Structure 1
Amino acid sequence: MLKKIFRVTYEYAAITFGSLLVALSLNLFLVPNKIAAGGFSGIATVVYYVSHYKLPVGMTMLALNIPAFILGVRTIGVDFGVKSVYGTVILSVLTDITTFVQCVTYDKLLASLFGGALMGIGLAIVLLFGATTGGTEMLAKIIHKYISFISVGQILLGLDVAVIVLASVVFKNYELGLWAVLTLFACSKLIDAILEGVNFAKALIIISDKSDIIAEKILKELDRGVTGLHGVGMWTKTEKNVLLCVVKRHEVSRVKNLVKSIDQRAFVILTDVREVLGEGFSV
């Protein structure tokens, strides 16, 4: 029982911390620079300035989320969970509580990059612990219910673009829209890096008549594992071993040179690997 209480407390503390980072990204970088990078936070930023600072960003975000959640329950059911409700509320509260912090920079480039990065880190932490912060993601799921031939991701992108265009028109500054796109890019890259891992590697698929010799050389000289897959050339109907080898980025050139020295006619496919778990890599 005590262990469960500790786990739940830890999860909600992490969600709170992630939401705090998102709130700080808004108040330290984005809102003071009128960068509305999509979502309900972008709409709330526009409303904040249109109302001449009378309507706080956090409370506007919460006001937008309430009908979205109600509509979401009626349309797609209660699938967002208590954590997401908590994440939505705590983000709105923390956004208004932290308005006392001073803007770090009014340089639009720095604000876009660092604001997007900080927001990405915060959102990734929230997502890691099974929550969301509401926003246009809920609207995208609702819309997808009626137009299922368009993916949720495409709808979400469309909504974010619409918010960015709206902000550009209201502020009469289309450069702000470009900065907002840069913010979205930085945010998404940080989310992907944290959720999918930053231990990038390379995978090589090697097709050769001398696969046994190549495999032995990789095993002994590079100290890397190699997996032999049974393959058949559909044109020649010839059976041969297809080698699969995952290496670190700086080892790619060594493998390519090794293969070339053994069989210049070898067919080599090189592809990115987002994350590797196991011996020789992170565990």
Structure 2
Amino acid sequence: MRRLYSLIVILVGSLALGFAFNIFLLPHEVLSGGVTGLAMIFGLLSPVNSGIWFFLLNIPILIIGWMKLGKEFIGNSIFAVVITSISMQYIPVVAVTDDPLLSAVFGGVISGAAIGVIIRFYGSTGGFDVVGLLLTQKRDIPLGGLVFCLNSVVVFISGFIFSWDLALYTMASIYISGIVVDRVHTRHIKLNLMVVTNQGEELKNELINNLIRGITVMDGQGGYSNAERKVLYTVISRYELAIVKSLIKRVDQTAFVSVSETVEVIGNFRRE
């Protein structure tokens, strides 16, 4: 059921991405970034649909991702690329507004939300998303900002081929898309978790069995009650918070929990 739910979400995200491209961006020659943007350029300059170019250009990148990011991830990515490619062929390229700035803004928001959801459910739209995910495994870099930097080359290409006004609209669209991706895809955000509990041993075992995280256990004492407590401390990703809250509630509903965002993690912290 989890796998089916993920595929349904990726399907909806891929259809939304094709919609954003064909309804908002392509009618005004406002491009997306990276490989997708190159596919749009080739589609605008040749009789071959952008969706077909999108699929062809992603093949070598997905092969690299297969070796580095795992079969499930690339399987989901291939599914997303195929659905996006098909949707771009069948959704008509029709402008809903004559204002290219509005198209750039709404196209960036919708495409960013779609890409963020697809990545959150362990997939990607290929292209520089795969490259960005490979790099964020090594460094805690916001994915949207990283992909924005990688994608900026498309802005210069579109400026030389079309016009610099459209290149600036493309830059705005890519920037907005990157911001929205970071709002949806929050794996780079790390949280400090401190739990004061009466069930220290049981809760520690539950967290270790369900998370790939080290945990520091300290002895504590209530300031008013003088009762002995266990204090558990660890650092988790934003994605893991929902799992952790559920585990703590199940083991000790009276536990005191403090969660705060951390600025930086140095040392042995698993980022995969």
TM band (smaller chain): 0.5 to 0.7
For residue 23 of structure 2, the aligned residue among 5, 28, 38 is: 28
How does 1:93-242 map onto structure 2 within 5 Å?
Answer: 93-98=86-91, 100=92, 102-139=94-131, 156-171=147-162, 173-196=163-186
Of 77-86 and 126-135, deviating more is 77-86
Unaligned runs of 5+ in 2: 187-259, 263-272
Of 152-161 and 23-32, deviating more is 152-161
CA distances 1:5-33 after superposition (whole Å, capped 9, x unpaired): xx322221111101111110000010111
Q: Determine if contact 1:140/1:152 at 8 Å carries over to the other structure.
A: no
For residue 62 of structure 2, the aligned residue among 59, 69, 80 is: 69
Tell me the distance in 2 between the aligned counterparts of 1:188 and 1:38: 10
| 1:73 positional shift | 4.1
Q: Determine if contact 1:141/1:152 at 8 Å carries over to the other structure.
A: no
Q: Determine if contact 1:168/1:175 at 8 Å carries over to the other structure.
A: yes
Q: Determine if contact 1:120/1:189 at 8 Å carries over to the other structure.
A: yes
Q: Determine if contact 1:69/1:138 at 8 Å carries over to the other structure.
A: yes
| 1:140 positional shift | 5.1
Unaligned runs of 5+ in 1: 197-271, 275-283
What is residue 40 of structure 1 aligned with on the other side?
Answer: 35
Name the aligned partner's letter for residue 108 of structure 2.
G
Name the aligned partner's letter for residue 13 of structure 1.
I
CA distances 1:88-112 after superposition (whole Å, capped 9, x unpaired): 22111112121x2522113111011
Aligned residues: percent identity? 26
SS in 1 for 2:32: coil
What is residue 253 of structure 2 aligned with on the other side?
Answer: none
TM-score normalised according to structure 2 size: 0.60
Looking at CA atoms only, which structure, 1 or 2, has the larger radius of gyration? 1
Tell me the distance in 2 between the aligned counterparts of 1:21 and 1:86: 14
SS in 1 for 2:17: helix
Instruction: Please tell me whether residue 89 in structure 1 is matched to residue 79 in structure 2.
Output: no
TM-score normalised according to structure 1 size: 0.58
What is residue 239 of structure 1 aligned with on the other side?
Answer: none
What is residue 226 of structure 1 aligned with on the other side?
Answer: none
Considering only aligned residues, what root-mean-square deviation do their CA atoms show, in Å? 3.0
| 1:139 positional shift | 4.3
SS in 1 for 2:116: helix
Name the aligned partner's letter for residue 179 of structure 1.
Y
Tell me the distance in 2 between the aligned counterparts of 1:168 and 1:46: 11
CA distances 1:211-246 after superposition (whole Å, capped 9, x unpaired): xxxxxxxxxxxxxxxxxxxxxxxxxxxxxxxxxxxx
Q: Determine if contact 1:128/1:195 at 8 Å carries over to the other structure.
A: yes
For these two proteins, the number of residue pairs brought into alignment is 186
Distance 1:86 1:109, change over 3 A: same
SS in 2 for 1:189: helix
Q: Determine if contact 2:105/2:176 at 8 Å carries over to the other structure.
A: yes
